[in-house]
Amino acid sequence: MKEELIKVLQIEKRFESHAVLKGVSFSLNKHENLVVIGKSGSGKSVLLKIIIGLIAPDKGSVEVLGKDICRLKELDLRQLRKKIGYLFQDGALFDSMTVRQNLEFPLKRQVQRKTDEEIEELVHQSLKKVGLSNAIDKMPDQLSGGMKKRVALARALMLEPEIILFDEPTTGLDPVTSKEINRLIIESRDKLGISGIVVTHDMYCVKTVGDRLVALNEGTITEVGGMSELNAREEKWLREFFE
Amino acid sequence: MKKFLTDVADLFIFTANFFVKFFRPPYEISEISRHILVLGLNSLFLISTSALIIGMVMSIQLTPTLEQFGAETLIPNMVAISIIREIGPVLTALVCAGKLGSAIGAEIGSMKVSEQIDAMAVTGVDHYSFLVVTRVVATTVAVPILTIYSVAISLLGSFIAINLTSSISLNLFFSRAFEYMHLYDVIPSIFKSLLFGFTIGIVGCFYGYNTTKGTAGVGKAAHTSVVSASLLIFFIDMLAAEISHLIIP
C-alpha cells in the first residue's frame, strides 16, 4: 500500500456568499507528482493555501505527514511547514533582499542553525541546481520572470522538504523556461525524492510532470487518473483542457 | 461604526500579540539596528528643517510681546519649556508618522499583496516577529532619539533668531533656557515620545498587515497609517498631559 503524505478530506471553503470548495477530498502519495487542473478562479490556489495552513477551511480536515494541520498550534505548524516547500505563482521573492539573502533567510532562522559556511555552501548548491549561480548577488527586480521562479524554487528546496506545493509553476513563462521548470520539478521527485502537488492549467506541464491527475471544477474534485485516462474522459469541461 | 469597532478590536489583538512575541526568541537584533538606522536617517532632514524653523519662528513671535514687558531675557526659557514639554515631541512624532508610518504601512502592505508575508510563513519563520516586532521596537527607540535631536535643533534655531536682532552668547542662551527647567519637564516628554514611537510602528504595521485589494490597497494602507497614527498621537498627548499633571501637580 502506498504511503499517503497528504490526505485532504471533505474540505469546504466559502468567501462571503461564494462557495469555492464544496467537499474536496484527495491524497498525495510518496514519490509522486499529483497534478490539480482547473480553470482560473476554480480555487486551486486556495486549496494549496489550505494544505499549508495559510487559510483555514470552513469544514473538513487536512492531514499532512500524519498531522492534522487545522488543529496544530502555531509553533507545531511552523515546524511542520519546514518539511513542506511552496512555490508561489509569482515567486514571492523578498524584494528588499538579494538572491543570496532570499535563500539564506529560512536557514538562518532555524533553531538548530547551520554554520555560515554550511549555509553558503547550500546556497551555492541550490542556485547551481536551478542554473543561476551567477545571479547570487542580484536583487529580485533585476531578474526575469523565469529567473524569479527558479530562484523561488531554489528557496523552496533550501530546507530539504519532503513535499513541494507548486502554484502555477509555468504560467506566464516562455516555452523554453517552462520546459526548464518542468525538468526541475521532475528532478526534485527523481533525484531528491520530493513529492509534489502541482496546480496548473498548462497542459504541457500536466503531461510532463504529472504522475496522477485530479480536476477541480465548480468546487468539487474529480479523480482522473493518468494522462491516458484524461484523454478518454467524456466530460465537456475536462475535454476543453486538452482539445 | 461597526467597522470602526472591529478595527479597534483587531488593533488591540495585534498589539497584544506584539507583547507576546517581544519576549520570545529569536531576537532579531541586527534587523532592529538596521531599522533604527534607516528609519532615523530617513527622517533626519525633515526633522532638522522643521525643528530649526519652529525654534526660529517661536523666538521671532515671542520677542515683540515680551519686549513690551521688558522680559525678553525670558525668551530662551519660554522657548525651551514649550519645545521640550510639547512642541518637540509632538512635532517629531507627527513628522515621523508621516514619514515612517506611511513607509512601514506601504512596505508591509506591498509585501502582503505580493504574497511575501505568506512566503515567510511557509518557510516556518515567525513573520510577525521578523516584520512587526523589529519595526515597532525600532520606531519606539528612534522617535525619542529624534525628539532629543529635534529639541536641540529647535533651541539652536531660537538662538539664531535672537541673534538676528540682538546679541547673546551660546553659553548665556543655554543657561537662560535651562534656568527654570526641572526633571519633571523632561521625563514626561521622553515617556511620551516612547509612546508616540510605539504607536507609529504598531499602527503602520497593523494597516500594512491588513492590506487588501492590490496596489490601491497599499496606498490606502499608507494613508490610513498616517491619519490614524497622527490622531492617536494627539489623543496620547492629551492623556499624557492629564496624567503628568496628576502625578506632578
Written in H, E and C, the secondary structure of chain A is: CCCEEEEEEEEEEEECCEEEEEEEEEEEECCCEEEEECCCCCCHHHHHHHHCCCCCCCEEEEEECCEECCCCCHHHHHHHHCCEEEECCCCCCCCCCCHHHHHHHHHCCCCCCCCHHHHHHHHHHHHHHCCCHHHCCCCHHHCCHHHHHHHHHHHHHCCCCCEEEEECCCCCCCHHHHHHHHHHHHHHHHHHCCEEEEEECCHHHHHHHCCEEEEEECCEEEEEECHHHHHHCCCHHHHHHHC
Residue among B123, B127, B130 with most chain A CBs within 10 A, to mutate:
B123
* Cβ-nearest to B26 among A79, A93, A109: A109
Other CB atoms within 10 Å distance of the CB of residue B129: 21
How much is the pLDDT for B233? Answer: 96
Partners of residue B115 in chain A, C-beta under 8 Å: 88-90, 92
**pLDDT value of residue B36:** 94
Give the pLDDT confidence score for residue A217 in this predicted structure.
Answer: 87
pLDDT tens, per residue, chain A with 243 residues: 678 899 999 999 999 889 999 999 999 999 999 999 988 888 899 999 999 999 999 999 999 999 999 999 988 999 999 999 999 998 899 999 999 999 999 888 876 678 889 999 999 999 998 889 999 999 999 999 889 999 999 999 998 899 999 999 998 888 888 999 999 999 999 999 999 999 998 888 988 999 999 989 888 888 777 777 777 777 777 777 766
The whole-angstrom distance between A83's CA and the closest CA on chain B is 9
pLDDT number for residue A1: 65
Which residues in chain B (90-119) have CB-CB distances under 8 A to chain A? Answer: 107, 111, 114-116, 118-119
Contact A82 B124 (CB under 8 A): yes
Interface confidence (ipTM) of the complex: 0.90
Residue in chain B lying closest to A103 (CA): B123
Lookup: cell for B72:
525678553
Q: In whole angstroms, what is the distance from residue B92 CA to residue B138 CA?
A: 15
**Would you call A90 an interface residue with chain B, using a CB distance cutoff of 8 Å?**
yes
Q: Given a cut of 80, is residue B169 above it in pLDDT?
A: yes
CA–CA separation, A206 vs A202, rounded Å?
Answer: 6
Residue A64: per-residue pLDDT: 95
Whether A53 contacts A165, CB under 8 Å: no
Answer whether 0.90 is exceeded by the pTM: no
Q: Give the pLDDT score at A111.
A: 64
Integer Cα distance of A7 and A166 in angstroms: 17
Rounded CA separation B25/A111 (Å): 10
User: pLDDT at position A243, please?
Assistant: 67
A89 interaction partners in chain B (CB closer than 8 Å): 115
Q: If you search the block for the grid coordinates 492623556, which residue do you land on?
A: B239
Shortest CA distance from B111: residue in chain A: A94
Best probe of the A interface among B28, B38, B122, by most A CBs < 10 A, is: B122
Q: Do B125 and A105 touch (CB under 8 A)?
A: yes
Strands A59-64 and A18-29: unpaired
Cα angle for residues B135, B137, B142 (degrees, 5° grid) = 90
Range from B68-72, B101-105, B117-121 carrying the lowest mean pLDDT:
B68-72
What integer is the mean pLDDT of B129-156? 96
Q: What is the reported pLDDT for B183?
A: 84
Q: CA dist A178 to A12, A133, B185, Å? A: 32, 19, 67
Interface subset of B 130-169, CB within 8 angstroms of A: 130
- pLDDT (tens digit per residue) in B10-46: 999 999 999 999 988 878 899 999 999 998 898 999 9
The reply to whether A105 touches chain B by the CB within 8 Å rule is yes
Give the other-Cβ count within 10 Å of B6's Cβ: 10
Grouping H, G, I as helix, E, B as strand and the rest as coil, residue B34 is helix
Higher pLDDT, A91 or B140: B140
Smallest Cα distance from B109 to chain A, Å: 13
CA neighbor of A202 nearest in space, from A40, A52, A92, A50? A40
- The minimal CB distance from A105 to the residues B115, B123, B126 is found for B123
Interchain CB distance below 8 Å, B118 and A92? yes
Mark B235-248 as b/e (b = at least 16 C-beta within 10 Å).
ebbeebeeebeeee
pLDDT at residue A201 in the model: 86
- Is B30 part of the contact surface with chain A (CB cutoff 8 Å)? no
Which residues does B18 contact at the CB level (< 8 Å), separation at least 6?
B132, B133, B136, B202
Residues 6+ apart with CB under 8 A from B240: B188, B191, B192, B195
In A, minimum Cα distance to B129 occurs at A109
Q: Which residues of A touch B125 (CB under 8 A)?
A: 78, 105-106, 109
Nearest-CA neighbor of A79 among A66, A89, A91?
A66
